Structure 1
């Protein structure tokens, strides 16, 4: 089995796996730059917990943090997501082609228009009829 390993891609997917981090990215998508306290407002968690999530996003390269005085502002960096999207697109093409082939196969009419749905198959026509006087399967009744 071939193992594909790209640390950047692994960090991106790991960062995107958490709903809180996806929520932080969604906020940064709406506004270019937000402070950590502004980012933390919608979440019911402590400021240090939000900062840990931002650290994960920053290590993945998805967020750029900048400190001005006591205020830390964050900005979205979409570069790693573009790389992840390129990776996903490769597999999307694979599955799309496979599903298109399956749809074409299913849409084909396997039976000619003259064929009757109740027509016996060749295997049943070639079978021998049961012999007369044969007993049903199972145990023989005792006398």
Structure 2
């Protein structure tokens, strides 16, 4: 059986419930679905955020996400993966990213989703520019995200 993997980079918003239903529809092998949706905050460190602008490297970003989806499939018995990441200008309250994993059991679904999200936060070819009350600028990576991703390194 081929495991369904959906990867989309898009400017348009997405419907979380519709994407979860699409992944699980008609698949009786699924016992767990885990979804993570990242939403644009209206504040960071006490500064108001007016918007985020996300840029990516077309073609390369999709290929890199697909490569990590394949790694997730090799590590856990997943029965489906959906990754949707928006680009362009996003205002507070809007969706940024969605990761959905399905498996027969919850542990694999949770771990697969965490692995993919940690990758997206640290290594996916996206750049984020934040507009706020103190001006605008590119957002640097956080050490806490690198620490979270380090737990998945193969030893």
**Structure 1 and Structure 2 fold alike (TM over 0.5):** no
Instruction: With the length of structure 2 as denominator, give the TM-score of the two structures.
Output: 0.20
> Which structure shows the higher helix fraction?
1
Instruction: With the length of structure 1 as denominator, give the TM-score of the two structures.
Output: 0.21
The structure whose Rg is larger is: 1
Higher relative contact order (CA 8 A, sep 6+): 2
> Which structure shows the higher strand fraction?
2
